[in-house]
Amino acid sequence: MKFEAVIGLEVHVQLDTKSKMFTRVPCGFGKPPNSLTDAVVLGLPGALPVMNREAIDKSIKVGLLLGCKIAPVCKWDRKNYFYPDMPKNYQITQFDQPICEGGEVEIELPGDSPAVMGEHRMVKLTRIHLEEDVGKLTHYENDSLVDYNRAGSPLLEIVSEPDMYSPEETFSFLTSLRNSLIYAGISSCDMEKGQLRCDANISVRPVGTKTLGTKVELKNLNTISGVKNGVEYEIKRQIKAIEEKEEIVQETRRWNPDQRYTTPMRSKEMAHDYRYFPDPDLMPVKIDQAWIDGIAKQVPEKPFDKQRRYMSELNLPYSITAALCPDFSLCQYFELVASLTKDPKKVGNWVVNDLLRELSNANSETNPIPVEESPVTPQHLAELVDLIDQGVISNNVAKELFPEMFSSGKSASELVQEKGLEVKSDQGEIESICARAIENDPDAAQKFRDGKEGAINALKGFVMKETRGQANPKVVDTMLRNLLSN
């Protein structure tokens, strides 16, 4: 019997706002433990919450970005539970009237070739609701410590339908969602800092059936690849259990990323009774069309839409757009350079091959260099491309110059002048070197005369080496052909 998996994800996204959800205490990461707290965060008697307008704006923006229905009225509820990560013993969230309903995330499935755009489809969303984050517990052998710096930060929970069917689709979903949220300035989505967290609900069923199997929730998925690996393991575990006549129980399991297996955390035979009720200290939020229209003007072009535009309007190949479009800042850099030159495709090649290589080589875990701080400015790269187009330098010389431009911060024209690297177009000098090339490699010369077109490349290589890449390639080609035809 063949089985298929059915997967739904619950994604928690910490919003980039100056202050927390219901207090003026700033949001932050890496601060001394319990330094970002106040009476509201700690739930002290008499402390009253006040809504963060920026967080609501960004929640509406996410809803519009993902095609959700924005609720005309959403309200706040108390989710009651007793656990050290929330000192009030309840979490302010949205239960039956979330801010966004429905929606979808576009994903790309792996294609047969990395150079060709794969198949795309939409994954349906159930809802998006806004709530406050909880504190962070650190467990030791004999005790646990809690840090409330994260507690109270605005948190969006994005809940998908059980609409994914493979680990690869979960990876594509999270990658696409993360890219869209970063594009829109919603969150930095750094999983290492807890700004993006994910739980996966997984079940398996015989292929061809519609009834969902017993659901298992998977936690401790700390990276996007970790989600993929954890889901992959859990699918295999459940299928093996069914084939061996074992019962799949509804439970929460923990993924061990080092040893790559899941272990039971707690049973979940029935829904927890969180005793939800409307928060008596907070009024419902009414969202009119004028509010929505104002936010709609801020919604950016989505990554896949940008990729399709680059391919259709700028004639960029998929391989270039696939490297550009996931990175909003890189796209901004590319578009600025392209606006200053005549050949966007040539610019795209320089950005995704040479610029990304130098940025990668210069990066370290402690001191990464973002593209915004590249020593090669958009203006410098545009000038380099123009120098090639104008025949001032050859492409080979430009390739040698680029690393030095990156390390020194100097422009191409400065380095060309310093090093005397202008293209040599002196007919007499080039003809003399071409004649030597033919004399030194009579075998290649004869092969070309016999009709093997590619044999001329060996002769060109000799000329370019002798001129340190400064000979005009078009002049070299014409000169060699003339000499070989005589």
Please spell the DSSP secondary structure of 433-453, one letter per residue: HHHHHHHH-HHHHHHHHTT-G
Q: Which of 376, 370, 374 is nearest to 401 (CA)?
A: 376
Secondary structure letter of residue 299 according to DSSP = P
Mean pLDDT, residues 436-454 taken together: 89
* 209 pLDDT tier (thresholds 50, 70, 90): very high
How many CB atoms lie under 10 A from the CB of residue 474? 12
Torsions phi, psi for 321 (to 5 deg): -65, -35
- What the block records as the tokens of 410 is 């100097």
Mean pLDDT, residues 170-183 taken together: 96
Where is average pLDDT lowest: 18-32, 378-392, 425-439, 442-456? Answer: 425-439
The pLDDT of residue 467: 78
Distance CA 155, CA 171 (A): 21
- pTM for the model stands at 0.85
Q: Are strands 90-93 and 77-80 parallel, antiparallel or unpaired?
A: antiparallel
Domain range summary for the chain, segments of one domain joined by +: 3-294, 303-419, 427-485
Could you tell me if 17 and 185 are in contact, meaning their C-beta atoms sit under 8 angstroms apart? Answer: no
Counting Cβ atoms within 10 Å, is residue 208 exposed (0-12), middle (13-18) or buried (19+)?
exposed
Distance CA 25, CA 18 (A): 8
Model confidence pLDDT, tens digit, residues 248-304: 999 999 999 889 999 998 776 555 689 999 999 999 999 999 999 999 999 999 999
Amino acid at 253: R
Distance CA 340, CA 90 (A): 56
Where is average pLDDT lowest: 106-115, 140-149, 170-179? Answer: 106-115
* 114 pLDDT tier (thresholds 50, 70, 90): low
pLDDT averaged over every residue in the chain: 91
The pLDDT of residue 476: 83
The pLDDT of residue 429: 78
* 392 pLDDT tier (thresholds 50, 70, 90): confident
Where is average pLDDT lowest: 114-118, 188-192, 260-264, 467-471? Answer: 114-118
- What the block records as the tokens of 110 is 């792996």
Q: How far is CA 193 from CA 43, 190, 214, 260, in A?
A: 24, 5, 32, 22
Q: Are strands 196-206 and 154-160 parallel, antiparallel or unpaired?
A: unpaired
pLDDT at 8 over 60: yes
Q: Which of 88, 93, 112, 208 is nearest to 155 (CA)?
A: 93
Say which CATH architecture domain 427-485 belongs to: Orthogonal Bundle (1.10)
Mean pLDDT, residues 227-248 taken together: 95
Model confidence pLDDT, tens digit, residues 410-443: 999 898 888 776 656 567 778 888 899 998 999 9
The pLDDT of residue 470: 74
CA 289 to the chain's CA centroid: 31
Counting Cβ atoms within 10 Å, is residue 351 exposed (0-12), middle (13-18) or buried (19+)?
buried
Model confidence pLDDT, tens digit, residues 332-351: 999 999 999 999 999 999 99
